Structure 1
């Protein structure tokens, strides 16, 4: 049986105590059916010494949730894993690059459509007012440049007062109300091939689409052509060997599809709505660790 490691949250992490074990169980069931034993281990146990991970056919950071709470240690871990040549999927240098959402601006410079985005050193009243002036938006979304699970993500309206500056790099984007009417469309790729497509919508009165905020997920039988073209463009531009990728897209008010995130570290695969229940990922992983078979 093939043995792989799945990196899990720091044991001291308190944000996801009930959710990540359920996601792990789904992954393990999918992989077990393909003869793959998935062993969970906290990512924080392998920051400066990765020797305990060398015996695995592949190391998957799929549940390294909460890394954004200790971003410096996470980046140190990525450097260790790359230096020691771990069989990591996705590659350590991709994980390090994908950690900071400023990668969106790099992709935009290469022609990928993203919402108008400003990065600021801290969330201040002046920065917010400047973003409103620059975009003409009535509402903004503010989120940390290094974050996950809508952590510290805020929806701001004109006239809102920033009581205290958020002392970390943040991105500011116009709030796209289409998240409420059309939802975000996520395209899941395993081994470079489209596996399934999921539409995610917030509950009434909410703008966040994560499961912990009541997000509603539904399988999309066929992706919108523009969303598919955008996702394929993103993968071409990233141009790295990726075992998995989740490309999150959303149309703006004019119907132009925009990249919201390219999730290459620890995306939920939404196996609960995957018709194959993760079999496609298991097959891609088999090919990854045994390319000649």
Structure 2
């Protein structure tokens, strides 16, 4: 018979939920996780990743949640991650996953990834002659510095966007705009540890289209149109294949989010594999925050 008793924290267990100064009390979606951990007896603090007064060694676990200001300081962020031995997800995953060139690795392994061209500083980019295209940097979060361009009408704007990223020493990535996002939306499949500690499907949501045109600055993460969604068998199959290619395996991970959009033939394509600081949409699925809290306490 399966026990219904939930894990309780060890006496004096301390958990840090990592955030940034934009959200000193965490992003709203993480409040149920914080509250669930506290209900189980853990001491929980929201701590900025770059807080010089933070005593990371005093925490039993340090869980990355919303450090969404790290992009211009990614080198410092990775160095910080490597200095925290109890970090989840672990630092080598953070380093790999915060540079979207991992998409090229996954495509090379035969996974169905949105076609992506990478253009480094000093390289020449020849714009496609037609179609809609997305330009963004390989290191970004929350759709920052991301734009959607219709060619050839907006060719000058697209080329200027790539040149602007290159001039800042950043690598640009160019992808076809997947039109199905306007009708079907984007599926985000969230995985957290099951009772055996291995990543298991938790829940899924639908995100509406956000990119309406050329890069116009940051996008408010609260502006997304989010609704619950049941994933298709094809989406679950792609997600399972993606998880098999995570460096070091999935048993080290506390969470994974796999973002998919149908391609031109209707089959799901990987848009992003979120292993660093993704919104987990815990308020959209009953029990999701509880399951994640249980998984955190199990790691203690």
SS at match of 1:266: coil
CA distance in 2, matches of 1:206, 1:273: 28
Structure 1 residues 178-187 or 163-172, which shifts more?
163-172
CA distance in 1, matches of 2:220, 2:234: 26
Q: CA deviation at 1:119?
A: 0.5
Structure 2 counterpart of 1:127, from 107, 125, 128: 125
SS at match of 1:106: helix
Deviations 1:230-250 (A, max 9, x none): 111111111242111111111
Aligned to 1:251: 262
Structure 2 counterpart of 1:237, from 242, 245, 252: 245
Aligned to 2:172: 170
Structure 1 counterpart of 2:60, from 57, 62, 72: 57
Q: CA deviation at 1:4?
A: 0.6
Q: Report the aligned-residue RMSD.
A: 2.6
Aligned to 2:4: none
Asked if residue 228 in structure 1 is aligned to residue 236 in structure 2, the reply is: yes
1:10-21 correspondence to structure 2 within 5 Å: 11=21, 16=22, 20-21=26-27
Tell me: CA distance 1:207–1:190, structure 2 relative to 1, closer, same or farther (3 Å): farther
Q: CA deviation at 1:109?
A: 1.4
Q: CA deviation at 1:77?
A: 1.7
Q: CA deviation at 1:206?
A: 7.2
Q: CA deviation at 1:75?
A: 2.2
1:104-115 correspondence to structure 2 within 5 Å: 104-115=103-114
Tell me: CA distance 1:116–1:96, structure 2 relative to 1, closer, same or farther (3 Å): same
1:174-185 correspondence to structure 2 within 5 Å: 174-185=176-187
Tell me: CA distance 1:213–1:26, structure 2 relative to 1, closer, same or farther (3 Å): closer
Aligned to 2:17: 6
Q: CA deviation at 1:224?
A: 0.5
Tell me: CA distance 1:41–1:19, structure 2 relative to 1, closer, same or farther (3 Å): closer
SS at match of 1:253: coil
Aligned to 2:34: 28
CA distance in 2, matches of 1:284, 1:211: 29
Deviations 1:115-166 (A, max 9, x none): 1100111499x5151xx15xxx501101110000000001112132134622
Q: CA deviation at 1:34?
A: 3.1
Aligned to 1:40: 46
Structure 1 counterpart of 2:133, from 131, 140, 156: 140
Q: Which runs of 5+ in 2 are unaligned?
A: 1-8, 194-198
Q: Which runs of 5+ in 1 are unaligned?
A: none
Aligned to 2:6: none
SS at match of 1:94: helix
Aligned to 1:276: 287
Deviations 1:20-51 (A, max 9, x none): 442342331232233333211111136xx98x
**TM-score, length basis structure 2:** 0.81
Q: How many residues align?
A: 269
Higher relative contact order (CA 8 A, sep 6+): 2
CA distance in 1, matches of 2:205, 2:292: 16
Structure 1 residues 197-206 or 70-79, which shifts more?
197-206
Deviations 1:210-267 (A, max 9, x none): 76473211111x3101110111111111124211111111111211111111110111
Tell me: CA distance 1:30–1:69, structure 2 relative to 1, closer, same or farther (3 Å): farther
Aligned to 1:157: 150
CA distance in 2, matches of 1:204, 1:172: 14
SS at match of 1:218: strand
Aligned to 2:205: 198
Tell me: CA distance 1:91–1:189, structure 2 relative to 1, closer, same or farther (3 Å): same
Q: CA deviation at 1:279?
A: 0.8
